[in-house]
Structure 1
Amino acid sequence: MPGHPHAPRRVIREVAAAVLAELPVFADRLVERGAVEEKTFYARGDWVAPADMRQSFMDNARSALVLMSEGFGTRAGWSAAPLATGRRRAEQGVPLEAVLHLFRLGTELLWEMLLAAARRRSPDELAEFIDSVMVLWQATDRVSTAMVEGYRSRETRLRARADRRRERLVRLLVEGRGADPVVAAEAEAGLGLPGHGRYAVVLVGCDLADDVVPAPGLAALGVRVVAALYRDRVVWLAELGGVTADRLAASLTPHLQHRAGLSGEVDGLAEIGIAYQLAEIALSTQEPDVPGLAVLDDRLPEALVAASPRLARRLAARTLGRVLELEDEERHVLLATLRAWFSAGRSATRAGELLYCHRNTVLNRLRKLEQLTGASLEDDRHQLCCRLALMAHREKP
């Protein structure tokens, strides 16, 4: 009866019941339109099978109609269908944006069917139904929210599983297991990297993967990067394609906010373990707490020193001798002078300019160094040892 407080609910319930009886027709229309939408909207082309699409449309429409007709306090298990749909679409790899787009399409068609059913009733009941249209939007919003909840919960689990698998495969490769055909085949399938190709490894001194993302534009260069945590570092396996390691370094450098080391180029997954070791050596040549990329091939002398720290310490002690026994200030002045002299191409005048002192002061300090080391700085071998010793002995600021 018009004006009766329960009339709108009764009208909604009866209209919903009429549409429930027509759900198969409704689902067929959605599948027909959804198939067209899929081809143009699903970015990854992960199409849902028509039977799956049809069933999910029916199940979710039924959930919305149950909420409309029985009220939002219902315990009829209406959320099971949208939760299951969301989980299934996440497993199928369908982008959430595409899922929601098709859900909105279904909502539009559901409204058309509800309105058509309401128009078969009296004018007063049609008016009451239209006045209660907010119930439809509230119901479909609940169903949509449940579907997104199911999607995101399953997506989180799938991502965690994929992360664990990626980290395990990267660990096997950097530990030198890539020469094992079984490991190589699993890595090819799981990481999408070819067994044979040109590779380099980037090792980033950071233990939070979300803090470190490869530089944008690498994909456009044809470089594929797989990143994973390993111990307290982030490892990038870079399949170079046609790009040189120098080009990779140039692309990465402006975007790195942490210390990082770049290996030289290696051949195939079988040599990833070697590349990792080289990247680790390159990283060790980078000053502590100083962000930036240390490229192995640009620091081979430093890498030689870093690769054998025990020999490097022995070389420094043997070469610099009594210099290292001096008080901090005098030792620092003499070693800084030696570094400046090498940097200035062994010119006392230019070294003095770098140190803001007279060339004679530089010469006096160099003579003191020769006295303490017991060798002439004109001797090529002693010069080489001094250069390496300076690399091995890092003065504290």
Structure 2
Amino acid sequence: MHNGENAGDTARWGELVEGLHGRLEELVELFVTRVQEIPEYADNRVSSPELRSTARETFRRLIDGLRDERFRHSNSHGSQDSLARFASELGAKRARAGISPEALISAVRLDFSILWADLRQIADAEDAVLLTSRVDQVWRVVDEFATQTHSSYSSERVRMAQEESNIRREFIARLFSKSELSADTISQAAAALVTDPEARFSIVAASGDAASKLRTVATQGGWLQPSQRLYVHEFGGSTYVFWALPRAHGTGSGGAARQDEGPAYIPAAITGIPCGYVEGFSGLRALPSAARTAERLALLLHPADRGPLTAAAAWARLAKQQLQDAGLDLWADLESALSECRDGERERLTETVRNFLHTGNITTTAQELFCHRNTILNRLNRFQELTGIDLAVPAQAARLVVAWA
């Protein structure tokens, strides 16, 4: 009994609560009508029959709570436990239905407004003081129901996210497998990752501190657009991050959908991380090969590198590594040939040749080094005399580029 409330008030409150029970179906219909004004409920994420059934059980339990206020202090299997269990089930169901937390709270808040409005409708003018004394009780009952519903909803969302993450990790691991990928595996992985298996993708790989930075970017959401995702895989001390390239508006030749590709579609947060980078490969089937290339590029990073390294930028490093693996050391051969240089001559020749390899033009090289054109020609001739490398022959110049990579 409320403080200052006599037996007559208590009896009258019981009559009003029973009146609510008698109007249960009217409360349900009013709730269904009003909740469908919330967009996420209007688009049938929750069916009308399920809405009515849930509303009926919700109001029945809330009204039971109003009938006996002691339910809030009971540890028995009474009204409180029944309402709490139902709220937990409801929160989990709405999470699985894809209802947003904002829409859920808006729907639950309707319970109080509908209950209170109906109480006022069935009450007499003499019940005004009684209703005022009971408004806190009505609010507490609904608020406890809302709190339990939201808590259950949040827990279910966390569990769903963990399950989804585990499924994604499992399929990503399959994609990185060295075994041949079946069509079913690719299709299932694409569904789990919510992506097109035939889309174009890019991938980066790194180890050490750079790998830690990649993981942070992926966790914090450094994707290109809100609808895109960064997918992460870790294996053998390396971290791999890959993503689908966004499709451009319009079509290409023959009416086929056109898809953008290239470094403009690398997440901005990754552009400052030293890593191996393979851009624009076709389809998930090519992922294992692209990952191996990205890992190989990551191994060729220099301390001075401050961002992703592509095969186009590192072709000479790749070639040099391949030759060294085969037991051929162009650098050692070059060092031996230049050992005959006189004091200061080696530095001048090296500077001139490096500049010429960069510009490909005698005049430009002379301008950049503040030398006469003939001086540059003499140095290039001297370099050829010592090394046997004619920079005018591309195949021979390429040897030098590789040696200095």
- Offset at residue 90 of structure 1 (A): 1.2
Name the structure 1 match of 2:231. Answer: 227
Question: For the structure 1 residues 132 and 346, does the alpha-carbon distance in structure 2 shift closer, same or farther, using more than 3 Å as the test?
Answer: same
Question: For the structure 1 residues 139 and 2, does the alpha-carbon distance in structure 2 shift closer, same or farther, using more than 3 Å as the test?
Answer: closer
Question: For the structure 1 residues 24 and 346, does the alpha-carbon distance in structure 2 shift closer, same or farther, using more than 3 Å as the test?
Answer: same
- Offset at residue 145 of structure 1 (A): 1.9
Match of 2:94 among 74, 83, 89: 89
| Counterpart Cα distance in 2 of 1:94 and 1:292 | 41
Name the structure 1 match of 2:223. Answer: 214
Spell out, residue by residue over 1:125-160, the C-alpha distance to the aligned partner (whole angstroms, 9 max, x if none): 322312442333333222222111111111111111
Name the structure 2 match of 1:201. Answer: 202
Does the 8 Å CA contact 2:338/2:387 hold for their aligned counterparts?
Answer: no
Secondary structure of the 1:111 match is helix
Name the structure 1 match of 2:171. Answer: 169
Structure-to-structure mapping, 1:232-251, within 5 angstroms: 232-238=238-244, 241=247, 242-244=257-259, 246=261, 248-251=262-265
| Of 182-191 and 164-173, the range deviating more from structure 2 | 182-191
- TM-score with structure 2 setting the length: 0.72
Question: For the structure 1 residues 293 and 263, does the alpha-carbon distance in structure 2 shift closer, same or farther, using more than 3 Å as the test?
Answer: same
Name the structure 2 match of 1:155. Answer: 157
| Counterpart Cα distance in 1 of 2:277 and 2:2 | 78
Question: For the structure 1 residues 59 and 240, does the alpha-carbon distance in structure 2 shift closer, same or farther, using more than 3 Å as the test?
Answer: same
Name the structure 2 match of 1:258. Answer: 273
Match of 1:60 among 58, 72, 79: 58
Flag structure 1 segments of 5+ consecutive residues without an equivalent.
392-397
Secondary structure of the 2:73 match is coil
Secondary structure of the 1:79 match is helix
Does the 8 Å CA contact 1:176/1:271 hold for their aligned counterparts?
Answer: no
Give, as a single letter, the amino acid of the residue that structure 1 aligns with 2:31. L
Does the 8 Å CA contact 2:263/2:279 hold for their aligned counterparts?
Answer: no
Spell out, residue by residue over 1:332-385, the C-alpha distance to the aligned partner (whole angstroms, 9 max, x if none): 99866654442243648747847x9999998999799778x7444546344211
Name the structure 2 match of 1:394. Answer: none
Note the aligned Cα RMSD (angstroms).
4.3
Does the 8 Å CA contact 1:202/1:235 hold for their aligned counterparts?
Answer: yes
Give, as a single letter, the amino acid of the residue that structure 1 aligns with 2:239. R
- TM-score with structure 1 setting the length: 0.73
- Offset at residue 303 of structure 1 (A): 6.7
- Offset at residue 11 of structure 1 (A): 6.0
Count of residue pairs the alignment pairs up: 371
Name the structure 2 match of 1:181. Answer: 183
Question: For the structure 1 residues 386 and 127, does the alpha-carbon distance in structure 2 shift closer, same or farther, using more than 3 Å as the test?
Answer: same
| Of 382-391 and 144-153, the range deviating more from structure 2 | 382-391
| Counterpart Cα distance in 2 of 1:269 and 1:90 | 31
Structure-to-structure mapping, 1:372-387, within 5 angstroms: 374-376=387-389, 378=391, 380=393, 381-387=395-401
Does the 8 Å CA contact 1:188/1:194 hold for their aligned counterparts?
Answer: yes
Secondary structure of the 1:263 match is strand
- Offset at residue 103 of structure 1 (A): 1.8
Question: For the structure 1 residues 311 and 15, does the alpha-carbon distance in structure 2 shift closer, same or farther, using more than 3 Å as the test?
Answer: same
Question: For the structure 1 residues 109 and 370, does the alpha-carbon distance in structure 2 shift closer, same or farther, using more than 3 Å as the test?
Answer: same
Secondary structure of the 2:231 match is strand
Give, as a single letter, the amino acid of the residue that structure 1 aligns with 2:215. D
- Offset at residue 186 of structure 1 (A): 1.5
Flag structure 2 segments of 5+ consecutive residues without an equivalent.
207-213, 248-256
Name the structure 1 match of 2:118. Answer: 113
Question: For the structure 1 residues 2 and 27, does the alpha-carbon distance in structure 2 shift closer, same or farther, using more than 3 Å as the test?
Answer: closer
Does the 8 Å CA contact 2:204/2:240 hold for their aligned counterparts?
Answer: yes
Question: For the structure 1 residues 267 and 345, does the alpha-carbon distance in structure 2 shift closer, same or farther, using more than 3 Å as the test?
Answer: closer
| Counterpart Cα distance in 2 of 1:179 and 1:6 | 77
Spell out, residue by residue over 1:90-130, the C-alpha distance to the aligned partner (whole angstroms, 9 max, x if none): 1222222222222223332122223224x14x61x322312
Structure-to-structure mapping, 1:1-397, within 5 angstroms: 4-5=4-5, 15-34=16-35, 36-37=36-37, 40-42=39-41, 45=43, 47-65=45-63, 68=66, 69-70=68-69, 72-75=72-75, 76-77=80-81, 78-117=83-122, 119-120=123-124, 123=126, 125-175=127-177, 179-195=181-197, 197-203=198-204, 205=206, 206-208=214-216, 209-216=218-225, 225=229, 227-231=231-235, 232-238=238-244, 241=247, 242-244=257-259, 246=261, 248-252=262-266, 254-256=268-270, 257-284=272-299, 287=302, 290-296=305-311, 298-299=312-313, 301-302=315-316, 304-305=318-319, 308=322, 310-311=324-325, 314-322=328-336, 338-345=353-360, 347=362, 350=365, 353=368, 374-376=387-389, 378=391, 380=393, 381-391=395-405
Does the 8 Å CA contact 1:204/1:259 hold for their aligned counterparts?
Answer: no
